[in-house]
A and B are shown apart, each in its own frame.
Chain A
Amino acid sequence: MSKLVSMHDAIAAHVRDGDSVIIEGFTHLIGFAAGHEIIRQRRRDLTLCRLTPDLIYDQMIAAGCARKLVFSWAGNPGAGSLFAFRRAVEGKGPPLELEEYSHFGMVARLSAGAAGLPFWTLRNYGGTDLPVANPRIKSVTCPYTGEVLATVPALRPDVCIVHVQRADIHGNAQVWGLLSTQKEAAFASARVIVVAEEIVDEAVIRADPNRTIIPGLIVQAVVHEPWGAHPSYAQGFYDRDNDFYVAWEQVARDEATLARWLDEWVYGVKDRAEYLARQPDLRARLTAKPRPSGSVDYGY
């Protein structure tokens, strides 16, 4: 049975007030369209989890969706600061609870969640203040070697949203380019929404099964949303909109300017199609130049 629904319906059905949510993607394939729909549906008290909150969580924090942030690097990649985040933490805005790790710590938390284990071990955090700031970073003594290893608890979000290049209507999802922690996040989460640049026939998936990172069996909803990762990028589809990331510094620095941006580009549009229709230059500016791979032979 098809799981294909609109973004509106996917968010309405699967993201609830108070949920812990992970919108995946590391620089690549960040689910901006999904984040904007969550803002439009005015979800509240979310625990937002991501290695890099990026602009999408800064927008969601500014819109009042977030109660708590679980993260490892909160900057504007290549450009500067996340100002809504900073205002909250520096006592100049609505408060935001923090649970902070390093990238490896977040990766380890998701690995534990995806493996169905309560925690994960890593050789890390010795000589740092991170376990002081975050008492959930603990340690364990290896029963085989006696080495003391750091531990982090499993992260098991209520909802994971992954943006992918292509998927079938059952949610079998294929990604190429940077992989982030999409697979671990999806397996760690109770519900998974796959958002795809292209919906393809199941035969396309079956012709190249090594490229599938998320199987349909763990997916509740599939959304077709071309350019749904803008201003981040989708390898082979469109480039990162670096100009947007740079310009965001000036938008987000001032609370009122940021609120006006949300009014115009999130609340002021019905959906991603309308967001795109207002920016007719995007395709000419960012569409990827082709660089097809060779293909492999799955014969036997």
Chain B
Amino acid sequence: MATEYSPKELMACVAARELRDGEVVFVGIGLPNLACNLARATHAPNLLLIYESGAVGAVPVRLPVSVGDPALVTGSLMVASMAEVFQSFLQNGKIEVGFLGGAQVDRWGNINTTVVGGDYAHPKVRLPGSGGAAEIAVNARRTLIINALSPRAFPADVDFVTSPGHRYHGTSRAALGLPGAGPVRVITDRGILEPNAATGELELAAIYPGETVDGVRAQVGWPLVVRDSLGTVAPPTAEELRLLRDVLDPKRLFLKG
């Protein structure tokens, strides 16, 4: 029986399925947080959640609305100082998965959360900036990008590289000496992009039920390569939807739309 679901609900499910039990995840607010807690409630009960604010092993009983929510502290395993979070956990290689997203993602998986339009000193739109994103993109062993597709959000080149992807002005991550693998999946609202193993350019790797290749291509600002063996993605299960809607985000703070 077909069940109705929203693109964001499927994005949260796809992200949750990427996480393996026992992994250490650097979590952000919104869909990443929902994905991690969905994974914890289904196939990955031993997922260890770390928030940049310092909560380690957080088990939030209410939906956190910011990375510094007090519910992340209550019942956690450890409260680390932010120096410990970035140095002892992230830079020291203890974070296996980091979640990222932003106003712009380009063909190499570079992310812009700093300025759009104009130049850095005189931007058309000023965004919040890096926060912890740059260091997560550099140091997490792998990252997952969650971003809805649109031509504005997926230009060929971002206006400003806040968080590095697979190539910076032609230079690869390896040549730049970045320790992490970079974005291994870009989870969008229509399909999943993955980097080409040789070049790092994002390609269409899987498509969601009801979406078309042309529909995806129209949302991306570069000639998107489509893999020969294009994967399909299972829709959310009834249990995944129940958890998302009734338990994790009952007020639909992050699932609406």
Contacts and interface: CB of A to CB of B under 8 A. Distances in A.
Interface size class of B (residues with CB under 8 A): 35 or more
Interface in A62-80: 71-75, 77-78
B131 interface: yes
Contacts of A235: 70, 73
B176 to A, nearest CB: 4
A74 B115 CA distance: 12
B129 A26 contact: no
B98 interface: no
B68 A291 contact: no
Nearest to B168: A127
Contact of A27 (B66, B83, B87, B135): B66
B73 A177 contact: yes
Nearest to B131: A73
A129 B126 contact: no
B131 A72 contact: yes
Nearest to B132: A103
Nearest to B120: A133
B177 A148 contact: yes
A78 B131 contact: no
B161 A129 contact: yes
Contacts of B168: 126-128
A108 B91 CA distance: 12
Interface string A123-151: 11111111011000000000000011000
A257 B122 CA distance: 25
Contact of B68 (A27, A126, A148): A27
A179 B79 contact: yes
Contact of A124 (B68, B73, B138, B165): B138
A147 B130 CA distance: 24
Interface of A: 26-28, 51-52, 71-75, 77-78, 81-82, 85-86, 89-91, 100-104, 107-108, 110-111, 122-130, 132-133, 147-148, 176-181, 183-184, 233, 235, 239-240, 242, 245, 288, 291
The 6 closest A-B pairs by CB, nearest first: A27-B68, A127-B164, A75-B128, A73-B131, A102-B130, A127-B168
Given A124-B135, A128-B138, 17 more contacts: A27-B67, A74-B126, A90-B126, A100-B114, A126-B168, A127-B171, A128-B134, A128-B164, A129-B114, A176-B79, A177-B79, A179-B81, A181-B81, A184-B81, A239-B70, A240-B69, A288-B70
